[in-house]
Structure 1
Amino acid sequence: LAGVGSGLRQGIVIFTGLLLIWFGCWQIKPDWLPRLPILHPLQGSWHQRLSNVMSRLSSQTSWWTPLLLGGIWGFIPCGFLYAAQIKAAATSNLWMGAATMLAFGLGTMPMMLGVGISASRLSADRRSQLFRMGGWVTITIGILTLLRTDAMVDFTGHGALLLLMLALIARPVSGLWAAPLRYRRALGVGAFVLAIAHTGHMLDHTLDWNLKAISVMLPPHQLGIVTGILALVLITPAAGTSFDYMQKVLGKHWRQIHLLSIPALLLAGIHTVVIGSHYLGQLQLSWGNQARAAIVGILIIGVLLVRLRSLWSLLSLEKLYR
């Protein structure tokens, strides 16, 4: 279930990669993306109270203050810290576990002190720039996380298609389901990021960066490559203008640019069905492959129909249409 190449493992990799990208975007521009409850469980007054308590605690000069803060620091989410804690727990011995954590603390102390001292000597503007640069580094790590294994070709492709569908139905269904509209911008950009990761996988793992190999592919597969490229080209302007400033600058043209996502969805659907290994891309077709291809087609048609006001009127649900 959780072995190398398993669906669970691949799903965790995708989730982790997207999470890192989300954190990176938040570091670069905090107000660009909404806060996720799962990532920010303490919001509003609770968050403010905790911040006040930590501020007062850090200003104390008592001997026990560093000890208490150090103990609290152990609960801070950190992959390296969790790895050390798991290693310590694996010793099954109190003293060996403590020694493991002590070694981890001593090993990370030079870096922590170095970063802290260096940052204290920088101006507020420089620290802000350093913080934003850290966001770009986090985004890069997230993208690299999505590019880890061969099987990620299918996962990233399906993920991009799903996020694009959710982004396109976000506004029409907001009267029934408000969540997609709130995260529509993140859904669209997420679809673009996964599409880029999918393209990188195809170039690296499938084509081995040999573009001449496309010329010897079967015509349906060549069609799939072309439609995939066109879909990526169409959603690129939308992803590049998915922030408030560009919306103000472009005015009415902003919506026209983002409506290019509709033909992009059609092209992405053709790409998926024609070249996908679980659809019609295999040399020997099976009923399962054809059924999956039909499901993709039905989902895409469903997305297009949901966007039609006339359909909502026909079903006497026009008051719910947004």
Structure 2
Amino acid sequence: MSASGNSSSHPVSFILLGIPGLESSQFWIAFPFFAMYVLAIVGNITVLHIIRTDHTLHEPMYLFLAMLAVTDLVLSSSAQPKMLAIFWFHAHKIEYYACLIQVFFIHAFSSVESGMLMVMALDRYVAICFPLHHSKILTPSVVGKLGTVVMTRGLLLVSPFCFMVSRMPFCPSHVIPQSYCEHMAVLKLVCADTRINRAYGLFVAFSVVGFDMIVISISYVMILRTVLGLPSSEAQLKAFGTCASHICVILAFYIPALFTFLTHRFGQYVPQVVHIMLANLYLLVPPMLNPIIYGLRTKQIKDRVIQGCCGKDP
């Protein structure tokens, strides 16, 4: 795109349309979205509370789970309150800097989420393939360093998005045909050459997601090899069930994320309503599923939830 004489360097605000094509249904669509958001908030806060108050759970697996819960709370809350305000109260306007902040939090914590799924897969690999050395390899210090690296990677790689966009001129149209501010959606409103921004976005997406998915894939292949060598068929089935549920959560995060990312660049023939709906669910479904799959399928956490709800030992 070439620079335009009608462009303005900094718009006062943007207009978020919500779900173009489903404007008349957005009020009702908001209810299942709200239910998923509530489940995500309650589930992740519950997991965090149980891990914080029970010192027997201060082990690598649970510490990583706590980090994932914090990430899910931030990721889902970055977009959902504004999304519900659009659907229920027609609050389509979002201030310029609020939009950039939303871009930063959504992309930074999507990267952190990917990194947490990766380190949790590594934790399961060490626990299953090297059970006698698990506590020696993943010490509290190593867990803390892995969490710090994942967080720092997300913050550092995403920060240039907002910096580069904030220095570019915008076209007169400030309408974003989505429910939240996303890097590529905002970039399409820029009246300047955006090839560097797009190239950097591709680099970040494929370096983060590509690296994490390779590590996750290798980890689960090694886990499955070890599981197949177990002498007990009951133990094999239990391990397969756990791995299958974890893989489902991982796919629920990566498939919509990659679909949304690639549709912005190459999906001119994908119906816009399909793209926007998947983009919305991508920020809601994983944060809702993670505490259920990783938390309630973990015996220690499930027992404490039952104890808290029923007031008795499970």
Q: TM-score, normalised by structure 2?
A: 0.32
Which has the larger Rg?
1
What's the TM-score, normalizing by structure 1? 0.32
